[in-house]
Amino acid sequence: MPITIDPAEVEFTAIRAQGSGGQNVNKVSNAVHLRFAIHASSLPDAVKERLLALSDQRITTEGVVVIKAQTSRSLEQNKAEAIERLQTMVDSVATLPKARKATKPTFGSKQRRLEGKATRATVKQLRGRVRGAE
């Protein structure tokens, strides 16, 4: 079951977008800052822990996710994009990572590795100075 984010827990701030946009860029606040407090959210505790453990620059030291969306000229489209990116981030930690099973190399793979090493050693040995042919 996918985890959905409660829209009441998300805070939006309209800001002016960076970059080119003509006269419009200086007058209209179309870019969006999304702020989502992980600790205060209704997410399950395990998901909160994995989200806080992410080494993502969008997560502050206080545990707040800040996402800036400014690709569209529409405020609503930028809000939708920011929510989508937050949902993607939450979905990435929602499922438990698979536990790794320790395995051993097979006998055949060990033999092939050792044969390769022996072949390489003889090639390098033959590159040396010739002895006994004086």
Which among 34, 28, 18, 16 is positioned nearest to 87, based on CA atoms?
34
And the tokens for 57?
């620059």
* DSSP collapsed to 3 states, 61-75: CCCEEEEEECCCCCH
Tell me what pLDDT residue 23 has.
66
Distance set, CA 18 to CA 12, 34, 79, 117 (Å): 17, 16, 16, 57
Report the DSSP pairing between strands 10-15 and 31-37. Answer: antiparallel
d(CA 56, CA 58): 5
Domains of the chain: 7-94 (3.30.160.20)
pLDDT in tens, the chain (134 residues): 678 888 889 999 988 887 666 666 667 778 899 999 998 988 999 899 999 998 889 999 998 999 999 888 888 999 999 999 999 999 988 888 889 999 999 999 999 999 999 999 999 999 988 877 65
Distance set, CA 106 to CA 65, 113, 118, 119 (Å): 46, 11, 19, 20
Are the C-beta atoms of residues 70 and 17 closer than 8 Å to each other?
A: yes
